[in-house]
């Protein structure tokens, strides 16, 4: 896959909640090659501190040469990104990694928790473009509270896929965890679960799918320096022993390929 | 290696590291450029002085568990633990691509014992397409061997002699900064027959996660690299260049042509770029361009005029 380093202009800045920001960037080369589940490495700031780029999933890639990222402010890098303004440029490198492998003929279950919702919008869009029967598909989203999910719900609704939302505190949708939804759902064993979210959630989704023989693809995170297979810093335990590297073997893995240490 | 540029039209950036001729003094540091292929869609590899690949051992190494890296102010700590595919897979999987590059390929090697260093060198001596070996005696992230070789002049000399006895190509020995007398180490490997020395490898460091009250790295300690270490590296290169007769290659925190030129003035014949490759994959090529512009703007005949030209 071709990778591109682009000076991407910020087209739109949306503060979707006190802690979350969505940026729309003009990055035509990256947008053209991006697939759901791919990520980009973005330089926050121009100096030597913070030094490393920060990885973000591609939230959407729009045919007019734009990409979106959706992130939460957790530390210095994301704080700097949250202070950017429309018209500024960011050094963006991507698209990187192995994305979701869409099984066009099989029912799709998109399961997102917290910021893990971010890459699923792009996935939902591409699944809808496969032009197949969407009636059996499901989107299941969970967050800590209203702010985590509510702002994105209209974007997911535009695809017309059945959508269910839960929040930990019940401030939006039903109260509970997204994994509760999964249990309540009648998941067709011939379907595919596409999940992204915090690791404990993914571990539970993986176990649920393993128990029922349902195919399961998960997008996971790790700390990264290069994002392209050069530093070997992003290792995770593989189920077959040894390590896999999130930036080149993932970030989307078949759940059964990973060792879930919980 | 044919030098393609016309020195009349372009600045003359050629440097000699013993018998090895580089079209310019910019190399990629081991462990930060993969096996070069990772960068092919971003960097014009042919513009580089040389490519140094990820360290190779006789047997494959799994490396350390996660978390292996953490950012620090103006730098990063890593405890990769020398994960690599081992020399046999390196030869069968990586060399076919590497030997087709039009730049010298330098293979970084490591071992736990003197015998392992000798064996891997023997194995590589039969392989076409390797321009030089870089002997890593300085990795801080493995329990056995590495550190002792890099901190004891006697051991460093022994490893160098063992490699030199069987090597088919020039040998560069890479020094650890985690010593009290870097000059003694450089002299020891020079006495052992090294054709050049490269320095520095990473400085041993540590980071603590206050929330969990645990070390951030699974290995507890790791190697510090990036701009944060540049002043230390520059000082060591300066001291070593004044003490040995063999060429010195400067490494540590270089992320611009200006940084590279500082090392050259301090006595480095060439430089290696490490961590900066992660932040800007095109940095090595940009440093070549920047050095060229400096040579041109200052009406120099060649970059060689600047080597060790620091006025103190
Ligand atoms: C493939 C991939 C895709 C990602 N996609 C998104 C996304 O779409 N939206 C989003 O908000 N975040 C995403 N992340 C996480 C994001 O990269 C981190 O939140 C970000 O790097 C933190 O940078 P910082 O400088 O603000 O935090 P730092 O100051 O570096 O660290 C602050 C805190 O964040 C934690 N942290 C640092 N890096 C990561 C990481 N990679 N994963 C989880 N926690 C981390 C640190 O341990 C620390 O506790 C993704 C990570 C990966 C690997
Ligand atoms: C992730 C990582 C992996 C490294 N792996 C090796 C290695 O395999 N062999 C080696 O000799 N040096 C290795 N190094 C050290 C670098 O080659 C270099 O000496 C060091 O990072 C200092 O240079 P820098 O500040 O420009 O990065 C590694 C460094 C990093 C950051
Ligand atoms: S982040 Fe460098 S190898 Fe994955």
pLDDT in tens, A96-107: 999 999 998 899
Q: Which tens digit of pLDDT belongs to each residue from A222-235?
A: 999 999 999 999 99
Model confidence at B7, pLDDT cuts 50, 70, 90, reads: very low
Average pLDDT over residues A26-51: 96
Q: How far is CA B85 from CA A80, A144, A225, B62, in A?
A: 38, 42, 20, 8
**Ligand 3 centre and the CA of B24: distance in Å?**
28
- Contact of A16 with chain B, judged by CB distance below 8 Å, is answered with no
- The C-alpha atoms of residue B176 and residue B199 are separated, in whole angstroms, by 7
Those of residues 115-154 in A touching chain B at CB distance below 8 A are none
Atom of ligand 2 nearest to the CA of B84: 8
The three-state (H, E, C) secondary structure of chain B, written as one string: CCCCCCCCCCCECCEEECCEEECCCEEECCCCCCCCHHHCCCCCHHHCCEEEEEEECCCCECCCCCCCEEEECCEEEECCCCCECHHHHHHHHHHHHHCCCCCCEEEEECCCCHHHHHHHHHHHHCCCCCCEEEEECCCCCCCCCHHHHHHCHHHHHHHHHHHHHHCCCCEEEECCCCCCCHHHHHHHHHHCCCCEEEECCCEEEECEECCCCEECCCCCEEEEECHHHHHHHHHHHHHHHCCCCCCEEEECCCCCHHHHHHHHHCCCCEEEECCHHHHCCCHHHHHHHHHHHHHHHCCCCEHHHHCCCCCC
| B74 flagged as catalytic | no
**Ligand 3 centre and the CA of A220: distance in Å?**
14
Q: Which tens digit of pLDDT belongs to each residue from B96-113?
A: 999 999 999 999 999 988
- Contact of A223 with chain B, judged by CB distance below 8 Å, is answered with yes
- The C-alpha atoms of residue A97 and residue B37 are separated, in whole angstroms, by 15
Q: Which residues of A touch B43 (CB under 8 A)?
A: none
Is A43's C-beta closer than 6 angstroms to any atom of ligand 3? no
Q: Which two tokens stand for residue B10?
A: 């372009």
- The C-alpha atoms of residue B42 and residue B37 are separated, in whole angstroms, by 10
> In the prediction, which pLDDT does B150 show?
83
Other CB atoms within 10 A of residue A142 CB: 29
The percent of residues above 70 in pLDDT, for chain B, comes to 94
Q: Which two tokens stand for residue A201?
A: 């959630």
Among A2, A53, A232, the residue with its CB nearest the CB of B80 is A232
- The C-alpha atoms of residue B183 and residue B200 are separated, in whole angstroms, by 12
The three-state (H, E, C) secondary structure of chain A, written as one string: CCCEEEEEEEEEEEECCCCEEEEEEECHHHHHHCCCCCEEEECCCCCCCCCCCEEEECCEEECCCEEEEEEECCCHHHHHHHCCCCCCEEEEEEEECECCCCCCCCCEEEEEEHHHHHHHHHHHHHHHCCCCCCCCCEEEEEECCHHHHHHHHHHHHCCCCCEEEEECCCCCCEECCHHHHHHHCCCCCCCEEEEECCHHHHHHHHHHHHHHCCEEEEECCCCCCCCCCCCCCCEEEECCCCEEEHHHHCEEEEHHHECCCC
Q: What is the overall mean pLDDT for chain B?
A: 93
CB contact under 8 A, A48 and B74: yes
Sorted by sequence, the CB contacts under 8 Å of residue B209 that are 6+ apart come out as: B215, B216
Average pLDDT over residues B230-258: 98
For chain A, the first-to-last Cα distance in angstroms comes to 34
Cα A54 to the chain's mean position, in Å? 14
> In the prediction, which pLDDT does B271 show?
98
Among B66, B70, B71, the residue with its CB nearest the CB of A236 is B66
Cα A66 to the chain's mean position, in Å? 17
What region does B89 belong to: left with phi over 0, alpha with psi -120 to 50, or beta? Answer: alpha
The percent of residues above 90 in pLDDT, for chain A, comes to 83
- Cα B235-B146-B56 angle, rounded to 5 deg: 100
Q: Which residues of A touch B278 (CB under 8 A)?
A: 52-53, 225-227, 230-231
List A21's β-bridge partners, or say none: A15, A71
pTM: 0.95
Q: Which residue of A has its CA nearest to B80?
A: A233
| Whether ipTM exceeds 0.90 | yes
- Chain B residues with at least one Cβ partner in A under 8 Å: 31-34, 38-39, 41-42, 54, 62-63, 65-71, 73-76, 78, 80, 83, 226-227, 255, 275, 277-282
Other CB atoms within 10 A of residue B227 CB: 22
> In the prediction, which pLDDT does A187 show?
86
**Ligand 3 centre and the CA of A95: distance in Å?**
14
Q: How far is CA A244 from CA A195, A235, A240, B94, B275, in A?
A: 18, 5, 10, 19, 22
Q: What is the overall mean pLDDT for chain A?
A: 94
Distance from CA of B65 to the nearest CA of A (A): 7
> In the prediction, which pLDDT does B9 show?
52
Average pLDDT over residues A242-256: 97
Task: Report the residue count for chain A.
Answer: 262
Q: Which tens digit of pLDDT belongs to each residue from B113-155?
A: 899 999 999 999 999 999 999 999 975 544 454 566 888 999 9
Is A96's C-beta closer than 6 angstroms to any atom of ligand 3? no
Other CB atoms within 10 A of residue B10 CB: 12
**Ligand 1 centre and the CA of A1: distance in Å?**
24
Mutate to test the interface with B, among A91, A226, A237 (most CBs of B within 10 A): A226
Among A52, A93, A229, the residue with its CB nearest the CB of B71 is A52
> In the prediction, which pLDDT does A182 show?
85
- Contact of A233 with chain B, judged by CB distance below 8 Å, is answered with yes
Sorted by sequence, the CB contacts under 8 Å of residue B105 that are 6+ apart come out as: B36, B50, B51, B53, B98, B99, B129, B130, B131
Residue B3, pLDDT > 60, answer no
A37, A221 in Cβ contact below 8 A? no
CB contact under 8 A, B278 and A225: yes
Residue nearest to atom 23 of ligand 2 (CA): B252
Q: Measured over all CA atoms, what is the biggest interatomic distance in chain B, rounded to whole angstroms?
A: 61
Of residues B27, B28, B64, B43, the one with CA closest to residue B216? B64
């Amino acid at each position: 896959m071709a990778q591109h380093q682009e000076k991407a202009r910020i087209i739109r800045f949306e503060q979707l909640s006190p802690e979350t920001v969505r940026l729309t960037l003009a990055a035509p080369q990256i947008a053209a090659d991006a697939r759901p589940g791919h990520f980009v490495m973005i330089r926050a700031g121009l100096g030597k501190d913070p030094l490393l780029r920060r990885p973000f999933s591609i939230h959407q890639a729009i045919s007019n040469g734009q990409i979106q990222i959706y992130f939460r402010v957790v530390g210095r890098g994301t704080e700097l990104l949250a202070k950017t303004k429309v018209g500024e440029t960011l050094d963006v490198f991507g698209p990187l990694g192995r994305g979701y492998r869409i099984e066009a003929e099989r029912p799709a279950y998109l399961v997102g928790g917290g910021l893990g919702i971010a890459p699923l919008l792009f996935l939902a869009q591409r699944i809808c473009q496969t032009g197949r029967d969407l009636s059996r598909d499901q989107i299941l989203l969970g967050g800590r509270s209203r702010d985590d999910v509510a702002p994105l719900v209209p974007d997911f609704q535009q695809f017309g896929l059945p959508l269910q939302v839960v929040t930990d505190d019940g401030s939006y949708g039903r109260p509970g965890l997204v994994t509760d939804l999964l249990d309540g759902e009648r998941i067709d064993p011939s379907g595919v679960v596409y999940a992204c979210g915090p690791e404990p959630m993914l571990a539970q989704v993986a176990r649920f799918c393993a128990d029922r023989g349902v195919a399961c693809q998960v997008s996971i995170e790790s700390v990264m320096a290069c994002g392209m297979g050069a530093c070997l810093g992003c290792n995770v335990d593989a189920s077959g022993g040894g390590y896999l590297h999130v930036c080149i073997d993932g970030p989307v893995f078949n759940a059964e390929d990973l060792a879930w240490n919980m | 290696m044919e030098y393609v540029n016309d020195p009349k039209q372009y600045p003359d950036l050629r440097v000699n590291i013993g018998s090895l001729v580089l079209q310019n003094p910019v190399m990629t540091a081991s462990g930060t450029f993969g096996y070069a292929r990772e960068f092919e869609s971003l960097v014009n590899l042919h513009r580089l002085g040389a490519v140094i690949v990820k360290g190779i051992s006789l047997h494959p190494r799994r490396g350390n568990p996660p978390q292996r890296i953490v950012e620090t102010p103006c730098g990063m700590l890593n405890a990769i633990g020398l994960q690599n595919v081992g020399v046999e897979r390196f030869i069968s999987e990586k060399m076919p691509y590497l030997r087709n590059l039009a730049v010298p390929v330098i293979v970084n090697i490591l071992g736990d014992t003197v015998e392992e260093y000798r064996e891997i060198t023997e194995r590589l001596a039969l392989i076409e397409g390797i321009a030089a070996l870089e002997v890593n005696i300085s990795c801080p992230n493995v329990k056995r061997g590495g550190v002792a070789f890099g901190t004891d002049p006697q051991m460093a000399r022994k490893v160098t002699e063992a490699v030199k006895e069987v090597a088919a190509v020039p040998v560069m020995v890479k020094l650890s900064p985690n010593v009290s007398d870097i000059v003694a180490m450089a002299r020891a490997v020079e006495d052992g027959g090294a054709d050049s020395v490269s320095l520095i490898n990473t400085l041993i460091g540590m980071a603590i996660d206050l929330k969990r009250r645990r070390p951030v790295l699974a290995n507890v300690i790791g190697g510090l690299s990036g701009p944060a270490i540049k002043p230390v590296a520059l000082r060591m290169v300066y001291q070593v260049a004044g003490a040995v007769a063999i060429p010195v290659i400067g490494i540590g925190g270089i992320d611009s042509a200006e940084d590279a030129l500082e090392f050259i003035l301090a006595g480095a014949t060439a430089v290696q770029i490490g961590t900066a490759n992660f932040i800007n994959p095109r940095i090595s090529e940009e440093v070549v361009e920047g050095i060229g512009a400096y040579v041109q703007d200052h009406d120099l005949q060649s970059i060689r005029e600047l080597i060790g030209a620091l006025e103190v």
